[in-house]
Amino acid sequence: MKNAYIEIDKERCKACGLCISACPQGIIRFSSEFNSKGYHPAEPNDPEAKCTGCGFCYMMCPDVCITVYRAVKV
Amino acid sequence: MKNAYIEIDKERCKACGLCISACPQGIIRFSSEFNSKGYHPAEPNDPEAKCTGCGFCYMMCPDVCITVYRAVKV
Amino acid sequence: MNKIMMKGTEAIGEAAIRAGCRLYFGYPITPQSELTEYMARRLPQVEGTFLQAESEVAAVNMIYGASSVGKRVMTSTSSPGFSLMQEGVSYIACAQLPSVFVNVVRGGPGLGDIQPSQGDYFQATKGGGHGDYKLLVLSPSTVQEAADLTGVAFELADKYRNPVLIFADGLLGQMMEPVSFSDKKVSYDNSSWALIGAKNRPARQVTSFNIDPYGLEKMNLELQKKYKLMEENEIRYETTLTEDADILIVAHGTMGRIAKSVVEMARKDGLKVGLFRPITLYPFPYEALRKSAADVSLVLTVEMSSGQMLEDVRLAIAERTRVEFYGRMAGVVPMPLEIYEVLKQKIGRRS
Amino acid sequence: MNKIMMKGTEAIGEAAIRAGCRLYFGYPITPQSELTEYMARRLPQVEGTFLQAESEVAAVNMIYGASSVGKRVMTSTSSPGFSLMQEGVSYIACAQLPSVFVNVVRGGPGLGDIQPSQGDYFQATKGGGHGDYKLLVLSPSTVQEAADLTGVAFELADKYRNPVLIFADGLLGQMMEPVSFSDKKVSYDNSSWALIGAKNRPARQVTSFNIDPYGLEKMNLELQKKYKLMEENEIRYETTLTEDADILIVAHGTMGRIAKSVVEMARKDGLKVGLFRPITLYPFPYEALRKSAADVSLVLTVEMSSGQMLEDVRLAIAERTRVEFYGRMAGVVPMPLEIYEVLKQKIGRRS
Amino acid sequence: MDYKVAYKMPRSLSGKQFTYCPGCHHGIVHRLIAETIDELDLREKTIIVAPVGCSVFAYEFFDIDGTVAPHGRAPAVATGMKRARPDLTIFTYQGDGDLAAIGTAEMIHAANRGELITTIFINNAIYGMTGGQMAPTTLLGMKTTTSPYGRKAEKEGYPVHVCEIIKELQGVAFLARTKVTTPRDVMTTKKYIKKAFQAQLKGLGYSLVEVLSTCPTNWGLSPEKAIKWLEENMTKEFPLGVYVDKVGDAK
Amino acid sequence: MDYKVAYKMPRSLSGKQFTYCPGCHHGIVHRLIAETIDELDLREKTIIVAPVGCSVFAYEFFDIDGTVAPHGRAPAVATGMKRARPDLTIFTYQGDGDLAAIGTAEMIHAANRGELITTIFINNAIYGMTGGQMAPTTLLGMKTTTSPYGRKAEKEGYPVHVCEIIKELQGVAFLARTKVTTPRDVMTTKKYIKKAFQAQLKGLGYSLVEVLSTCPTNWGLSPEKAIKWLEENMTKEFPLGVYVDKVGDAK
Amino acid sequence: MTHSIIISGFGGQGVMLMGRVLCQAGMTEGKHVTWLPSYGPEMRGGTANCTVIISDEPVASPVVDSPEEVVVMNIPSLLKFEPIVRRNGYLFINSSVVDREPKRQDIKTIKVPANEIADQLGNLRVANMVMLGAFVFTTKCVNIESLIDAMKYKLKGKDSSIIELNVEAIKQGLRHVGG
Amino acid sequence: MTHSIIISGFGGQGVMLMGRVLCQAGMTEGKHVTWLPSYGPEMRGGTANCTVIISDEPVASPVVDSPEEVVVMNIPSLLKFEPIVRRNGYLFINSSVVDREPKRQDIKTIKVPANEIADQLGNLRVANMVMLGAFVFTTKCVNIESLIDAMKYKLKGKDSSIIELNVEAIKQGLRHVGG
Ligand SMILES: Cc1ncc(C[n+]2csc(CCOP(=O)(O)OP(=O)(O)O)c2C)c(N)n1
Ligand SMILES: Cc1ncc(C[n+]2csc(CCOP(=O)(O)OP(=O)(O)O)c2C)c(N)n1
Ligand code: SF4
Ligand code: SF4
Ligand code: SF4
Ligand code: SF4
Ligand code: SF4
Ligand code: SF4
Ligand SMILES: [Mg+2]
Ligand SMILES: [Mg+2]
């Protein structure tokens, strides 16, 4: 059960790494794949469901690649 | 015996009157004559030799019409 | 229609207001400041906006802005000021923004003087700014015509989405003549392209930019197509006694009406002189002039410049006919008799 | 003389320094920033002064200042920037201040793009600013010629006390070719008119201003006399295989050398095609072109524009000969084969 | 369990990919503007005036009507728009070359008139688009392609402080300098941008937000190092904070 | 008894009659500049850059080499001169339209560069030469031909305060605002002008002296009444005094 | 019938207004008119003049080499314009200011001591209207009634006493030349 | 004899340098050369190419419709330039990056796995020199010695190890095509 998760638009990503250093949980990394622009895009790597949905990654991403989802409290 | 006196270049004068109001001794007036520009130029009127050579008239004249002479103390 | 005595500058201002212009941005400069001042006085009375810009560079860009949101707008200046506007004019032309400019030309180059001149003809007609663009250029010769052409200018600007230049000289700007204005109600609608908010439609761009040369070339070809249309449809000129003329004078603006006096003089002397007066400087009436000049033995171009329209005259008649030139510069206005003397001399030299 | 590979922009910069230019004022703009940057690097090495101006308007006026105190000075820009300089250029021309301008023309109008173009021909040759003035305009076609003409530009500027414009395009600006520079020592002396302090002589004025129209007309007539002299003495052009040509291509700058390839192609096909390449755009080689075109059946003008030099070509040969035009705009460069195809098509249509 | 989007691309962006280099702060600021427009519900009546600079394409990145002004003249263009259509919300987006060099006069006079427009000012201490020439805001000693030996005060003058110059102009209603190097900064900047738009909406006067930004490409640094360089050098030269605030803090 | 000249036309004036209207303060300031040039013995190496404005002829009124710059561009022209010939003394003479409207950018950047030139700035709150249009320094409520209903802050903005805008620029070495309505003012102004030239001679930076001046003609007042109006209105809007002084008081 | 007129004098003498009143009068009579001002090269207070054309035909040139009727209100104007008056044309001289004789014999010279007459009316500033009265009565370029109406139109809003004074000035002017 | 060459690839692949080294080599051999860069419409990081002419005659056009020799370092370049290679001309393909086949049969295609060879040399960045070695050996547009000298000239000031690496890359390139 994760409280939050993110999605990264790989095609938009330019691999600047700003999301990676912004994430307090350290759960973003560079993918080993290339995107069509030739970059190794960032990808979430959150097996332990540590994402808090804080949005720091989103805030620092200059290319608006990231969508952050939070669990809805019912 | 005057301590000081002034000369006014009538042809340069534009009858603005600034020298007249600047003179602490009140010894400048408008001439009744016209100059070739059609102005009544200012003229010194110092029968009592009141001019102190203070230079106020010179300082205020926008058309640099005035020369101030002072007696040389020997 | 009631006539009132008005200066050319003021008549242009009033006519602009009648044409629905409610925005004026400009910077004072002799000899057109009366137009700026007229707008400062008049526009608030009709709930319009007058704003004195901090410079001509700012003014032309305010025109760009106001026009891009779809409003009729105008500025006026004189020679050095119009030079400063050239970058902006090129942008406006490329972005296809309707707008009306008035250049009350004075003696140049440089600071020059403040007397009447036509020395900015090249700048007006060939493009003083960079790139392949054209202004529609109107050259009135009377105050009434200045007023009428101002109305035309706004119509043409919207019709072609193109900047229109009223090319006047200091004579026309300062001269007073009786003038009357039409009371026709005007309305216009630029909402199909203007930047008025992306509501219920995709967002819009007004631009003179295209980083892709093929894209930009396409934009240019569109412009060229438009210019072609103007050349086909918008040519204006006036002829006086050209039918039987053996000698043709070509002159525009107030120079044109001064030349008309020469025609009168010459005709009294039995000389068959006619007058061709281009009203649109761009598009230039090449074809019409060619026809008018078909049977004459001499064409005399008279300008208040060193000879600029002369090149267009030459292009029109391709030197099949002798083309002579007479001009005065720097605000010295060629006078009727003076021109007539020159004319007689040229004819004399011919024989 | 040692050759080095250099960009056109850089070669112009180096040539300027060899010509004694120790002052550069300019504002960055693609595609000429390499020249600005070259001067920023090089001038301090030769105790010269490089200053990045706050704008092109400031730059042109810094040129005015530096030139008025008698020093060789230069600026460079690209199309929109040169439009902004028009007021200043008109002042400089009227005040008769020697100075060298470089316009590395890009696609226009407006912001356009950053690709090569020749669309500022009218602005350069007919006067983009106000009033009756002329720049000396040089159009090089190779990096070596750009370097050589830069030296010429400084000489002519001083000789005529007139601004000189090097009209380049992005191709020439970016292209690298081997180039060599002369090591001739240059010296110049403008102390007879420059503002260097009223010592042991009456005070001097450098001015473009004369409130009296007759005085200003006199200044204008002096300018016209000077232009006349330039027209008599400074015309430059290059012809290729024009002697026996039946078809003449007219093209300037890099377009000229591209056209040279067309001539080579055509000749291989047995078509008698020649090339006329104006090097001075003002003064334009009317007479020489008229002669070169005397016996041809077709003249094809090729430009990276909608057809501007075309008017001068028409004026030169007065349509005795058919004049056709081909051009591309906005940075799209007409290619040799492409032009050749057009040429063949035009010939075809003729028969 | 259900999930809800907490952060996503704002409506007022067109979705077109930014042409900026990796890590360039232009993109962050774009997003903040778009979010503000969304939150104030202004998308259908806002016009962007893009500059000439790396952000020349900005008018394509927003899903709003827009244009690109001649270099430096965005405030004049915006003035023309606003005077013609006071009901529209107009903002200019300008770089330091655009705003503080060639466009100095237009910016100052728009500010002085209290023109009801908003300016977002990206200060990256360099001319990004044209390849790294000196800007008015370039720091002393900094090497650029046109100050290859380092900027010297005696020769090129001092870094221009835009906020300090215009802060005393009475027409200015909101004025602040900020940065976007941390999420916290990003939130502050967002707040400023919102206030700047509110200054316009409330008819209070001219508003400008200066954002210290990185240009990794022309600084020759990685995005991370560029951020560090900004923190260590630019914030010293250009003090952050609110210079003018006539908007107040009430909602 | 012998008499000696105590005050007379300074050597550095050409003697040509001024073209100014009766009572116009341009003339007083001209004289003070000429006296300063004489006293510093600079006549043979000083160049004047006249503006476009009523003082367009200034370069003929001084007996020194000179030119007239395009409207507003005198600081750029002077920069070109000074960079080319650092041994010359260069000053610009500019009106409020010239300096604070069209020439804003050139003035600010010359000041920011600490350009070694001196500017004498005549603030008469109006465009004199062109017949009385609104200047950036026109007071609120003041009627001019282009603010016929009185200048309004909401529409035309606020009077521009040049000294206040540039006082924080580090390139500025001497900066003062003064007037010439009384002999005492005239003396003060002379002192400032001298300091301004000294700032240049000593290589300290840019110097500017703003002189509040009358325009009797376009204000529609007699020379005397114009002075009174200036005292009562302009000095309130534009505080007099020295804003920057890096020259010091030693001889 | 075309009248081509130049009116010239010092800046303060009201010569521009004279021309404008004339044009206004001509226009109300349905004539074609143009008024063209010209200021000397001096910046302030120099000599100024205007060219007025009043015609039954549309006006071609608004400038004339050789006007039929010239009014000179000061000496510089006399020097400048006497030589170009058309043969058999009129030269009106404000003899209060111009204390010298014209040289030409082939033109009709009319002297009006306009300042003195105005002075008698109590206001030097109406010298221009005095001259205008004399001018119109002599040249008949417009009717006196139209002239008076035009003057009133131009002075609209002014005190009625001022208007009366100007009417009186016109009348004194035409009386001086025999009207 | 005239070689007209287009070299094209991503911004980072060093295609501009390839052209400049070729020209430098040509120049030292006394040939006439031109180098003309062209950047795509993308602002940053897009495809770029340069046109090089090496000739015994002065170069007329620095642009060519139809080059004799084309080097493509990536797929967009292949798509753009394959169609315009002159009949019987050469197409050099960096097969490490371009994983598709050219369509034309009327040209000579030469595949060089430049990245792989460079990788083996320990530095991907010398892929361009690998390709250049292959290109020059095949086309003989300049001598290999001049090429190496030109490369050294261009890398003046760099570490000698880097220069050695580049020499090696050139040699590997020409070895790959049989040199
Ligand atoms: C009149 C004019 N001059 C110069 C240029 C060239 N130019 C384009 S962008 C730019 C400067 C960009 O720098 P900045 O404003 O700081 O924006 P950045 O790219 O750093 O975001 C310049 C000088 C131009 N397009 N127009
Ligand atoms: C480019 C340009 N724009 C406008 C003008 C017209 N012009 C001449 S002087 C002037 C303003 C003068 O005012 P100011 O600078 O205050 O000087 P003042 O006459 O009051 O001393 C203007 C707008 C011009 N000559 N050139
Ligand atoms: S939302 Fe916060 S925790 Fe989750 S990935 Fe982004 S920065 Fe990390
Ligand atoms: S911040 Fe955005 S662009 Fe940068 S690596 Fe992360 S997702 Fe990619
Ligand atoms: S010098 Fe002084 S006292 Fe003498 S006239 Fe002048 S102001 Fe009066
Ligand atoms: S101050 Fe000068 S110009 Fe004025 S009245 Fe006195 S002398 Fe004449
Ligand atoms: S050059 Fe600099 S400012 Fe421009 S997009 Fe790249 S990083 Fe951003
Ligand atoms: S108009 Fe004003 S500023 Fe100009 S000279 Fe006259 S009084 Fe002086
Ligand atoms: Mg920047
Ligand atoms: Mg003023």
**Which pLDDT score is estimated for D351?**
41
C310 touches chain E (CB under 8 A): no
Q: Which range of residues forms the domain containing residue A64?
A: 4-70
Q: Is residue F15 part of a domain?
A: no
CA G142 to chain centre: 12
In three-state secondary structure terms, G83 is: helix
Residue A64's CATH number: 3.30.70.20
pTM across the whole model = 0.96
**D57 to chain E: which residues are within 8 Å by CB?**
102
Model ipTM? Answer: 0.96
Asked whether residue F242 carries a pLDDT value surpassing 60, the answer given is yes
Q: From C54, which residue of chain F is nearest by alpha-carbon distance?
A: F101
Q: Which CATH architecture has domain C4-233?
A: 3-Layer(aba) Sandwich (3.40)
C350 pLDDT more than 50? no
Which of D232-241, E137-146, E180-189, G69-78 is predicted with the least confidence, judged by mean pLDDT?
G69-78
Residue C318 pLDDT level (bands cut at 50, 70, 90): confident
pLDDT 10s digits, D279-292: 999 999 999 999 99
pLDDT, residue D338, reads 76
Instruction: Tell me the percentage of chain F whose pLDDT exceeds 90.
Output: 98
Assigned fold of C238-346? Rossmann fold (3.40.50)
Give the separation between CA D90 and CA D72, rounded to whole angstroms. Answer: 18
- Span G30-68, pLDDT tens digits: 999 999 998 765 555 567 899 999 999 999 999 999 999
Segment F162-173, tens digit of pLDDT: 999 999 999 999
- Yes or no: say if D110 and C90 are a contact pair by the CB < 8 Å rule: yes
- The verdict on C306 touching E (C-beta cutoff 8 Å) is no
> Residue D177, Cα to own-chain centre: how many angstroms?
19
Give the strand order in the sheet containing F3-7.
Answer: B4-8, B66-71, F3-7
C-beta F144 within 6 A of ligand 8: no
Q: What is the pLDDT of residue D350?
A: 47
Q: Ligand 8: does its nearest atom lie under 6 Å from the Cβ of F216?
A: yes
Q: Which of C29, C30, C52 sits opposite F134 (nearest CB)?
A: C52
Quote the ligand 10 centre to G76 CA distance (angstroms). 31
D136 touches chain F (CB under 8 A): no
D327 strand-pairing partners = D303
D52: nearest CB among E104, E133, E149? E133
Q: What pLDDT, on the 0 to 100 scale, is given for residue A73?
A: 77
pLDDT in tens, A32-63: 887 877 788 999 999 999 999 999 999 999 99
Domain that holds residue F124: 26-245
Mutation site, G63, G142, G154, interface C, largest C CB count within 10 A: G63
Q: Do D257 and H65 touch (CB under 8 A)?
A: no
Q: Are C61 and E60 within 8 A, CB to CB?
A: no
What is the sign of the dihedral through the CA atoms of H123, H125, H127 and H129?
A: negative
Q: What is the mean pLDDT of residues D117-137?
A: 96
pLDDT tens digits for range E96-152: 999 999 999 999 999 999 999 999 999 999 999 999 999 999 999 999 999 999 999
Strands F46-50 and D73-77, bridge-based pairing? unpaired
3-class DSSP state for residue H178? Answer: coil
Q: Do chains H and B touch (3 or more CB pairs under 8 A)?
A: no
Q: CB within 6 Å of ligand 1 — which residues?
A: D 27-29, 56, 80-81, 84; E 52-55, 71, 95-98, 122, 124, 126-130, 135
D28: cis peptide before it, omega within 30°?
no
Asked if G44's CB is within 8 angstroms of F20's CB, the reply is yes
Q: How many residues does chain D have?
A: 351
Asked if residue E9 is part of any domain, the answer here is no
| Residues whose Cβ atom is located within 5 A of ion ligand 9 | E 95-96, 124, 128
Which amino acid, one-letter code, is at C294? A
Cα atoms in the Cβ-side hemisphere of radius 13 Å centred on G84: 20
- C-alpha triplet G13, G15, G21: angle, nearest 5°: 130
Query: What are C8's two structure tokens?
Result: 């050319």
| Alpha helix stretches (DSSP H) within D202-324 | 213-233, 254-268, 286-292, 309-317
Q: Is F213 in the pocket of ligand 8 (CB under 6 A)?
A: no
Determine, yes or no, domain membership for E207: yes
What is the pLDDT at residue D176? 96
Q: What is the residue-wise DSSP string for C136-158?
A: EEE---SHHHHHHHHHHHHHHHH
Residue E156 pLDDT exceeds 70? yes
Contact C330 D130 (CB under 8 A): no
Residue F222: nearest ligand to its CA? 8
Helices (H) and strands (E) in chain G, counts: 6, 6
State how far the Cα of C334 lies from the Cα of C262, in Å rounded to an integer: 11
pLDDT score at E251? 53
Q: State the Cα angle at F182 between F178 and F186, rounded to 5°.
A: 50
**Ligand 5 within 6 A of CB of B54:** yes
Q: How confident is the model at residue H38 (pLDDT cuts 50, 70, 90)?
A: confident
Ligand nearest to C-alpha C110: 2
Q: Report the chain H residue with the minimal C-alpha distance to residue C213.
A: H41
Q: Rounded mean pLDDT of D152-166?
A: 98
Nearest CA in chain F to B71: F3
When divided into structural domains, chain A yields a total of: 1
Rounded CA-CA distance D94/F112 in Å is: 31
The pLDDT assigned to G12 comes to 77
* Average pLDDT rounded to a whole number, residues H31-48: 77
Residue C340 pLDDT greater than 80, yes or no: no
Question: Using CA atoms, how far apart are residues G72 and G91, in angstroms rounded to an integer?
Answer: 8
pLDDT over 70 percentage in chain D: 96
**Which member of C28, C80, C110 has the closest CB to residue F133?**
C28
Is E133 in CB contact (< 8 Å) with chain H?
no
Concatenating the DSSP letter of every residue in G146-174 gives HHHHHHHHHTTTS-HHHHHHHHHHHHHHH
pLDDT > 90 fraction of chain D, expressed in percent and rounded: 80
Q: How many other CB atoms are there within 10 angstroms of residue H45's CB atom?
A: 18
Residue C86 makes CB contacts below 8 A (sequence gap 6+) with C123, C128, C129, C130, D83, D84, D86, D123, D128, D129
* Residues near E45 by beta carbon (within 8 Å), at least 6 away in sequence: C197, C199, E87, E88, E89
Residue E119 belongs to a domain: yes
**From E52, E146, E156, residue closest to D36, measured CB to CB:** E146
Distance from residue B17's CA to the centre of ligand 6 (Å):
5
Ligand 6 atom closest to residue B64's alpha carbon, by position in its atom list: 2
User: For residue E49, which phi and psi values (nearest 5 degrees)?
Assistant: -110, 105
Q: From the CA of G160, how many Å to the nearest CA of chain C? A: 23
Which ligand is nearest the CA of A11, by number? Answer: 4
Q: What is the pLDDT of residue D325?
A: 73
What pLDDT score was predicted for residue C127? 80
Tell me if B59 and F26 make a contact (CB, 8 A cut-off).
no
Q: Is the dihedral of CA C200, C203, C208, C214 positive or negative?
A: negative
H58 CA: distance to closest CA in chain C (Å):
29
CATH code at E39?
3.40.50.970
pLDDT band per the 50, 70, 90 thresholds, residue D330: low
Of ligand 4's listed atoms, the one at least distance from the Cα of A15 is: 5
Residue % of chain H over a pLDDT of 90: 79
Across the interface, whether the CB atoms of E3 and A60 are under 8 A apart is answered no
- Taking 70 as the threshold, does the pLDDT of residue C258 lie above it? yes
CA H133/CA H131 separation, integer angstroms = 5
Q: What CATH number is given for H2-176 in this structure?
A: 3.40.920.10
- Structure confidence at residue C297 (pLDDT): 87
Lookup: tokens for E172 = 């200015």
At residue D1, does pLDDT exceed 70? no
Cβ distance E80 to C65 less than 8 Å, yes or no, reads yes
Dihedral sign (CA G113, G117, G120, G123): negative
User: DSSP of B4-53, one letter per residue?
Assistant: EEEEE-TTT-----HHHHH-TT--EEE-SS--TTS---EEE--TT-----
Whether residues B67 and F224 touch (CB distance < 8 A) is answered with: no
For residue G11, pLDDT beyond 80: no
Phi and psi at A60, nearest 5°, equal -90, -10
Give which of C218, G63, E7 is closest to A9, Cα–Cα: E7
| Total number of domains in chain F | 1
CB contact under 8 A, C68 and E60: no
Q: Distance between CA H58 and CA D142 in Å, rounded? A: 10
Nearest chain E residue (CA) to C211? E57
- Name the residue ranges covered by the structural domains of chain C: 4-233, 238-346
Question: Which of the four pLDDT bands, split at 50, 70 and 90, describes residue C319?
Answer: low
Q: How far is A67 from chain E (nearest CA, A)?
A: 5
Task: Report whether residue A27 contacts ligand 3, using a CB cutoff of 6 Å.
Answer: yes
Query: What residues are neighbours of ligand 10 (ion), with CB under 5 Å?
Result: F 95-96, 124, 128
Residue of chain D whose alpha carbon sits nearest to that of E57: D111
Q: Mutate which of C49, C51, C54, C75 to disrupt the E interface (most E C-beta within 10 Å)?
A: C54
Q: Give backbone dihedrals phi and psi of F129, rounded to 5 degrees, phi first.
A: -60, -40
Lateral strand order in the sheet of E3-7: A4-8, A66-71, E3-7
- In angstroms, how far is CA F211 from the centroid of its own chain? 6
Tokens linked to E170:
């009475």
Q: Pocket residues for ligand 7 (CB within 6 Å)?
A: E 20-21, 24, 26, 54, 124, 128-129, 215-218; H 44
* For range E26-30, the mean pLDDT: 98
Q: How far is F125 from chain D (nearest CA, A)?
A: 25
**Residue E218 alpha carbon to ligand 9 centre in Å:** 10
Report chain B residues touching chain F, CB-CB < 8 A: 1, 4-5, 11-12, 14-18, 21-22, 39, 53-56, 58-64, 66-72, 74
For residue C300, give how far its alpha carbon lies from the nearest alpha carbon of chain F (Å): 36
Q: Which of B46, B68, B69, when mutated, tests ligand 5's pocket best, judged by the most ligand atoms within 8 Å of its CB?
A: B68
pLDDT at F250: 64
Ligand 10 midpoint to CA F125 (Å): 6
